[in-house]
Structure 1
């Protein structure tokens, strides 16, 4: 026991009336080095005010900012086998799941939410990166499929926020099987004539980027987001060439036609609402011809209202 730290310092602090300050009261902007007040950063949706650097935002905070008045309803998580392969590395897989469930309050890495953006009812499927890096396992795959099935049943568009390191290695081939399963769910939504917009956040990699995250009608990326399948170092070692600067970042991918738009987090709600209203044949606040890069020409035909 360190008697100076554990006894003397608390005594001095109590005598002087000092209060313990939270360790995260000020947060350093990784890009500019500026110290940002925690409350100001949270109000700005975890975007650094001076540099515009997009920090990682908790999934439920994102939902709160995205939906009208922060009001939404979550869908119940589907039940799947917990540890079908009885996997163990440094610790048992079931123990890892218990730790992440206790830390996040989530059953797994996917949250499905129902709500409105600018009075338009939608379904949102979102990765919670804090749960095992947003990795895709059986539970996450089932939850994604449930989100698409709900959108189809309720005739609502679906917006997916991707943030993942890829397939969950502890579930092996069972994790990889979720790639074709979720792809089928995407096709079912499109056959129903409902819009599907994907927001690619930092990072979106691995099997997630090789399946449903790249099958949207429109792909929007947050500034600076890392998007790709394999890591840059692995690619360079494979092809024995140095990759261009900014390779796999949102701006580079937009320049090379892999994403349609790069939109700051604070403008995502209004941008997505405007796009969905045009795709659903409802009045929009912005004319189609004002969208960047002639995006309006590539939009699916509006969904016809049932008589």
Structure 2
């Protein structure tokens, strides 16, 4: 009999209690500087690296939480036909959809909500990159159209946070048709005299960039976001030239006039609130005071002329 394993170890375990399970994901590694960040520090920093300032990708739910004031409401989006082409590659498209829906707890790659930003009403649509790389299919197109109609109904600006790899190839031409649909949706907002603001997050590429994402009245991006249509390697092979440093990054696009602002995540809510206030709140100019007219000094009546 091994008395250590049979008697001593059980006594020691009883004395000190059962070992506590250590939760997973207590530390996160930054993809840019490879430094480890404690999960609570990362939450407080809105998932921005505390060492190098790298903006990590976040989901649509967090994006809405970081953008709105307290008390916003998400809306249920209309249902669209799933797998209209009965597409299959290595796996059936319907199976991929179900898996993505189970992992993200979302019906598709977009979430729409309404509420206030710094006290100003707004409608926000946020892409979920974890849902099939945020690809734009019929569900995403319907989400953008619904958000635009809601903005017009509520007389509120529309803000879209993009994070997408482009069109969803499993839906073929149905996916490509979402490009003109989303462009028309932006026209609904602009014709109603409402601001349309686009915030481009990492990455914003493909058909999303080639449609509504470049039509904002105000174009904003997060620092370091990848923004473009085709990949850099494809462009280099096409033009047969070496692309400049930082090509297709937010700072490069800002320098060349494609963007209006590059805003850190921590300042995004305040910046959006200020922009909405400038565009929507009328400037009240106090009326000019009426000139003060001093009363005329009363002169004595003229003396009557002497008669002879």
TM range (shorter): 0.7 to 0.9
Partner of 2:268: 268
List aligned pairs for 1:39-54, cutoff 5 A.
39-54=40-55
List aligned pairs for 1:40-79, cutoff 5 A.
40-69=41-70, 71-79=71-79
Q: Secondary structure at the match of 1:87?
A: coil
Deviation >6 Å, runs of 4+: 13-16
* Structure 2 runs not aligned, ≥5 long: 1-9, 285-308
Q: Secondary structure at the match of 1:200?
A: strand
Matches of 1:14 and 1:173 in 2, distance apart? Answer: 64
Partner of 1:183: 183
Q: Is the 8 A contact 2:59 2:127 kept in 1?
A: no
Partner of 2:32: 31
Q: Secondary structure at the match of 1:228?
A: coil
Partner of 1:304: none
Matches of 1:139 and 1:195 in 2, distance apart? Answer: 24
Q: Secondary structure at the match of 2:21?
A: coil
Deviations, residues 84-135 of structure 1 (Å, cap 9, x unaligned) = 1000011100000000111111000111101111111110011011111110
Matches of 2:35 and 2:282 in 1, distance apart? Answer: 43
Partner of 1:97: 97
Partner of 1:199: 199
Matches of 1:262 and 1:238 in 2, distance apart? Answer: 29
1:39 CA drift (Å): 1.4
1:278 CA drift (Å): 0.5
1:282 CA drift (Å): 4.6
Partner of 2:106: 106
Matches of 1:154 and 1:255 in 2, distance apart? Answer: 35
Partner of 1:22: 23
Q: Is the 8 A contact 1:277 1:283 kept in 2?
A: no
Q: Is the 8 A contact 1:45 1:62 kept in 2?
A: no
Q: Is the 8 A contact 1:59 1:127 kept in 2?
A: yes
List aligned pairs for 1:132-171, cutoff 5 A.
132-171=132-171
Deviations, residues 30-82 of structure 1 (Å, cap 9, x unaligned) = 2222211011101211001121110011211121121112x211111111111
Q: Is the 8 A contact 1:168 1:175 kept in 2?
A: yes
List aligned pairs for 1:198-277, cutoff 5 A.
198-277=198-277
Pick closer, same or farther for the CA change 1:215–1:21 going to 2, 3 Å: same
Q: Is the 8 A contact 1:68 1:116 kept in 2?
A: yes
Matches of 2:82 and 2:270 in 1, distance apart? Answer: 39
| Aligned residues between the structures | 272
Greater Cα shift, 58-67 or 219-228 = 58-67
Matches of 2:44 and 2:223 in 1, distance apart? Answer: 18
Q: Secondary structure at the match of 1:125?
A: strand
1:14 CA drift (Å): 6.7
Rg larger in structure: 2
1:281 CA drift (Å): 2.5
1:283 CA drift (Å): 6.7
Q: How large is the RMSD of aligned CA atoms in angstroms?
A: 1.7
Tell whether 2:123 aligns with 1:123.
yes
Partner of 1:8: none
Matches of 1:207 and 1:136 in 2, distance apart? Answer: 8
Matches of 2:217 and 2:114 in 1, distance apart? Answer: 20
